[in-house]
Amino acid sequence: MDKVRAKGTVIRALGAMSGTSLDGVDAAMIETDGVAIHGFGRSGYRAYSDDERAVLRRALGQWSGPTLGPATDVTMRAHQELLADFPDADVIGFHGQTVAHAPRLHGTLQLGDGTVLAQALRRPVVWDFRSSDVALGGEGAPLAPFFHFACAKWIGAEAPVAFLNLGGVGNITWVDPRFDAQQEAGALLAFDTGPANAPVNDLMQERLGLAYDKGGCVAAGGTVETGALELFLAEPFFAKMPPKSLDRNDFAEMVNLVRELSDADAAATLTAMCAAGVAQAMEHCPTLPTRMLVTGGGRHNPVLMEMLEVSLDCPVEPVEAVGLDGDMLEAQAFAYLAVRVARGLPTSCPGTTGVRAAVGGGVVSVP
């Protein structure tokens, strides 16, 4: 543990992420001192089965009750199976599975116990990343922006760039790499852009029994219903100044806006809503970024990517264009944040979550 806590020492960190898309668990290794990225390691993925996904779906939006126990069991089992395959990690960043997020009301809830995981894997585990931020008045999300700043440094960016993560919910990080540290005023602005893959995934599951719209094939055959799109953009969330964050189900009524549409038209309209939310978000950025680097599952949807290219006034590219792994960026982020927590470095600041001051969240559990 001394090696993990020693500032300035480069160590091998393993991060895990199970997002609100409910597809499975990502795990990825990086080498870092908690400030700079020194290298990327191997990664892995453990998909949720249909039965496991159904268990997790029943827990969404729940703060207590009988659905949380089985969902916690699924979360812990999947993570333990995958993370055990990385015996060379010095420390593990464990995010858990978010099932409810309402920072101004109840708080934020991620299923999973890092203490149990540390005992099972015999490695230090950093977890519960969001609670400290929420306790100090922050949104508790997004948390990847500090890592995005390190990525901008790693790719050698010399002017503002933006990272757009399209998971269940969309979030954007505007980065000015000319600053020395993430917590400096003006270095970062981050916030949720609106729903992303979650409504489309739910539509596919409900109507077609599919986990998601693979390759955007269903949406590609449809036409956007502009009336529904206009109603969506009238939601107060889009006019609200950042920082701001969403729960996966905050826009659940979106499905009602497309209830009478064909499968293809409904998919096309929900996809357009995701792109429109991003376009609205650009109005809050301090300056136009030189490029928009897209990560998360949404970048695999060519219909969504084309909509973004049409609606944004900057180049839109998957993060692979700069040598990053868009499937693993969030898992890598929690590996990076784990090292920062262990070394007493901040993991969020006013520009990323609206927290009153830079704060280092997270609990460190040792075996």
Domains, the chain, with CATH or none? 2-140+330-365 (3.30.420.40), 156-322 (3.30.420.40)
46 Cβ contact partners less than 8 Å away, ≥ 6 residues apart: 24, 25, 27, 78, 79, 81, 82
pLDDT digits (tens, 9 = 90+) for 313-351: 999 999 999 999 999 999 999 999 999 999 999 999 999
Residue-averaged pLDDT of the chain: 95
Cα separation, 333 vs 2, in Å, equals: 22
Under 8 Å between Cβ of 285 and 174: yes
Q: How many residues does the chain have?
A: 367
Show the CA angle centred on residue 305, arms to residues 350 and 44, nearest 5°: 70
Tokens of 326: 């868009």
pLDDT digits (tens, 9 = 90+) for 205-263: 999 999 899 999 999 999 999 999 999 999 999 999 998 988 777 887 788 899 999 99
Q: How confident is the model at residue 190 (pLDDT cuts 50, 70, 90)?
A: very high
pLDDT digits (tens, 9 = 90+) for 86-99: 999 999 999 999 99
The structure's pTM equals 0.94
Is the pLDDT reported for residue 298 higher than 80?
Answer: yes
